[in-house]
Amino acid sequence: MDLYLDSADREALGPLLRTGVFAGVTTNPLILERAGVRLGEVPELTRWLLDAGAREVFLQTTTSDVEAVVAEGHALRALSDRVVVKVPATVAGLTATAELARAGVPTLLTAVYHVRQAVLARAVGAAWIAPYLGRMTEAGRDGRRHVEQMQGILTGSGTRVLVASIRSVDDVHRLAVAGIDAVTVSAAVARELLEEPLTAAAVDQFDEAVTRLR
């Protein structure tokens, strides 16, 4: 399973990217807003993320017209060959994704809530889908079952599953066991993921032994 960070907060991202654990960073307009990043600052943020250790950066389009989404997708991809263009899984988004895919632009269909959307993503050549696990579950759907079925449909197709809206490290654990391709987590969940109390206790014992050995 590949791990990504769902944030645009540089202070939080810097130490996490430095670990080398996380493959990259995913963003969307809400995440940018929370971090105080204006749309005009996205190119500079992208450069910073890549320099800080992100191997991939996912940037979302902000328009709704097909032609505008396609143009914006090309502009985002022009920032770096390590940028993946995120497009909401609407009819216009699917249409734009098909055009971008034909032009060789890697795309991720985001805000995916149903298995049928995974079928559609495969049909238009999306490189990724981002199902919203937590939001599906909170809406009364069996989020984990939907995600596992999406993975089953897409395995071997060229379209990968990047699960978003992760609420806890337990979600990551269960998805990893289920063979999910990738997840993207908040900085808070990422920090919790890196911590294990029993490991910390063992390290304390090692440190005490080192002190006695001096």
| Active centre residues (catalytic) | 86
Alpha-carbon distance 15 to 72, whole Å?
31
89-118 CB burial, b ≥16 within 10 A, e <16 = beebbbbbbbbbbeeebbbbbbbbbebebb
Residue 7's SS3 state is coil
**Cα torsion angle, 35, 41, 47, 50, sign:** positive
- Provide the token pair at 141: 């759907």
Strands 24-26 and 56-60: parallel
